Amino acid sequence: MRNYSERSITSERIRYKRSRSVLGSSSLALALTFRCSFSIMAYDGVLLGMGNPLLDISAVVDEEFLNKYDLKPNNAILAEEKHLSLYDELAAKYNVEYIAGGATQNTIRVAQWMLQIPGATSYMGCIGKDKFGEEMKKNAAVAGVNAHYYEDETALTGTCAVCVVGGERSLVANLSAANCYKIDHLKRPENWQLVEKAKYIYIAGFFLTVSPDSIQLVAEHAAAKNKVFMMNLSAPFICEFFRDAQDKALDYVDFVFGNETEARTFARVHGWETGNVEEIAVKISALPKASRTHNRITIITQGCDPVVVAADGKVRLFPVILLPKEKLVDTNGAGDAFVGGFLSQLVQEKSIDDCVKAGCYAANVIIQRSGCTYPEKPDFQ
């Protein structure tokens, strides 16, 4: 993918080809520069994410380790007392990598990488005032994300154990500082301006466990200003144990993301007598909605099976990019990356087909690498 300024210059050269006889070369160059700068400004802060920033502690483990801590593949849970020794054992027994993560932060970083437009994305969440928090800030800056962290002085930066077996990941999150986010931080003028500036707002369901009042405030703003508000089902336990908060937020959601396991859990919790993912996606899309400006669209990923997109009572299926098993490194962040790729095209007002294509591309790149990481530049076409 060429960066935005290159694409803009190419299009503007074509547009001004007939004007060369009227404008001198210096005037033409100035006009091109102005138009490109104006276009980039139009994307300034266009996408905002809010969530739980976590430092991923990632390692390839064995089945015995999963069984010891009662962990399941392709699942995500919050740490309990029985998991507290897991983090030290993981670091002592296995070859670990430390990667800035958290579901929403992953998505925003991937969207920024795909866009290659300076300042296009912003992010808010809570970290601790410690070395891991400093590392998180550096990582966000390198990724090009405008991060406004709330820094808690009493809690350590949150961590997430990423236990990989056969390419499948099991996540155990110790939220710590991430659990300390306060709506007061959101209301500060320098932070609320990120909300005002954004045209698209994305929040993973995990944030429901931390600050549902912040979600509600942003959701109501999005509805009032006809902005696009998006959320992710995120994990089965969110659908099961945070149903009321999730249902309240869903009233405002224009795009719902999730995977097949989360979709089936959502259906079961709501008493829907079906395990058919396509039917569930249609039902989610048809749930009551506070804003009628945008019809809700539901996007459900299914691993190597087609992506399900439901809108207006209809379903479309999109094939994913199949990957030979020997190239699969780590599925951690695959769903986050899919959403990031999807949003990178959505904020450019591309078609749903293009959005899904970009999502599949981004997920395919991430699962061939350790953690939610990516090469310097995308080559998405």
Report the DSSP beta bridge partners of residue 57: 98, 161
Phi first, then psi, for residue 14 (nearest 5°) are -65, -45
- Rounded CA-CA distance 152/31 in Å is 47
User: 134 and 157 in contact (C-beta within 8 Å)?
Assistant: no
Q: What burial letters (b/e) apply to 331-341, b meaning 16+ CB within 10 Å?
A: bbbbbbbbbbb
Q: Establish whether 184 is a catalytic residue.
A: no
Of 251, 336, 353, 379, the active-site residue reads 336
Helix (H) or strand (E) holding 9: helix 4-15
d(CA 19, CA 11): 14
> At residue 43, what are phi and psi to the nearest 5 degrees?
-100, 5
Burial tier of 177 (Cβ tally within 10 Å: 0-12, 13-18, 19+): buried
Query: Shortest CA distance to 254 belongs to which of 280, 228, 278?
Result: 228
| Distances in whole angstroms, Cα of residue 51 to Cα of each of 109, 164, 207, 301, 375 | 13, 23, 5, 21, 24
Token reading at 13: 């050269």
SS3 243: helix
DSSP string, 99-138: EEE-HHHHHHHHHHHHH--TT-EEEEEEEESSHHHHHHHH
Q: Which secondary structure element, helix H or strand E, spans residue 231, and what is its range?
A: strand 228-232
Q: Which amino acid is at 121?
A: T
The amino acid sitting at 220 is E
**Structure-token match 């395919």, residue found:** 364
Known catalytic residues are 336
